[in-house]
Structure formats: structure tokens, C-alpha cells
Amino acid sequence: MSDVPRVTNNIEITEDCVRKCMTKLPPDKSPGSDDISPRLLIPIDEEIVLPLTIIFNKSLESGSVPEDWRTANVCPIYKKKVREHHRKIIDQ
């Protein structure tokens, strides 16, 4: 876990909030760094709403986030097939 500044004094994530976010998952998108496809999460959303809510609130309460949450998959997107003129967006 990584320490983050504590700015979350009165924030609480509710099951309804997590449920609402789960309904907005686009099933046709690629998996994230956890390799879990939205197509797998959508059918089990009701079963994972409570555990996710607990995890998110514990993270806010402790003021730290797991290192995995700070990982991003970055792929350069080239313009007009010119590969020598690109820049790195995220340096991890």
C-alpha cells in the first residue's frame, strides 16, 4: 500500500454508488491491469458490490491505496503512421 495525503475526512462510498458505477461498465472494453474483463464483472455485479464497497471505504479510511491501483497500461498512439514523433504520456 502507498501512502496518500488524507483529504477524505467525510467521504463514504455507498453500495448504491458502487452499483451505479458497475452499471456503467462498457462490456466491449479491454481488461485493465488486473486482466479482468468487464464482461466478467457485469454478470456478477450484485455479488461484488458489497466487497468492493468495503475495500474502497477501507482505503479511504486508512489513507492508502494498493500499489496495483496505481498501475496503468500505456500504449502509444501514433498519428499518421509517423512513429518517430511520439511522446510518453505516463512514466511508471
What are the angstrom distances between the C-alpha of 74 and each of 11, 68, 81, 83? 30, 14, 18, 16
Confidence of residue 84 (pLDDT cuts 50, 70, 90): low
> pLDDT tens digits, residue range 9-68?
678 899 999 999 999 999 998 887 788 899 999 999 999 999 999 999 998 888 888 887
Q: Is residue 90 predicted with pLDDT exceeding 70?
A: no
- Nearest by Cα to 75 from 36, 37, 38, 32: 32
Please, are residues 23 and 41 in contact by the beta-carbon 8 Å criterion? Answer: no
